[in-house]
Amino acid sequence: MITIDYKDRRPIYEQIVSSIEELAVRGVLEPDSQLPSVRQLAVELSINPNTIQRAYSQLEKTGVIYSVKGKGNFVAADPKRLREEKMEQILQEMEKLLRQALALGVGRERMENWLHSLLEKEEGGNKA
């Protein structure tokens, strides 16, 4: 479910946030389903409970999860909104990269070739 990549440069709590967001967006975590307790997930991942708490706090701030006092943390009921926000972030990143490529003089045809190549690579990797 949630894995930590110790070679990843991102802080562990950010990896946890990303994993839970992705699972919610893909529907693996159903709306209103309960997440593992802070202590339970910390033991499962062999990390400090404060790291889990930080990730859960971040997820609550962004509306991915909500907490019920004495009950735990639950997946928010609107993963579609989260998916839309993620797609908007992706579009903004693509626009930024496009501007950088244009500033370097990269032409439209070359960028289209890059995109097609990347799509083929990803789609081929998902079929394996």
pLDDT at 26 (0 to 100): 86
Q: What is the pLDDT of residues 58-82, one digit of tens each?
A: 999 988 999 999 999 999 977 677 7
Of the candidate CATH numbers 1.10.10.10, 3.30.200.20, 3.30.70.360, 3.40.630.10, the domain formed by 12-77 belongs to 1.10.10.10
Output the 3-class SS for the chain: CCCCCCCCCCCHHHHHHHHHHHHHHCCCCCCCCECCCHHHHHHHHCCCHHHHHHHHHHHHHCCCEEEECCCEEEECCCHHHHHHHHHHHHHHHHHHHHHHHHHCCCCHHHHHHHHHHHHHHHHHHHHC
Mean pLDDT to the nearest integer, 2-18 = 95
Full-model pTM: 0.67
pLDDT at 122 (0 to 100): 87
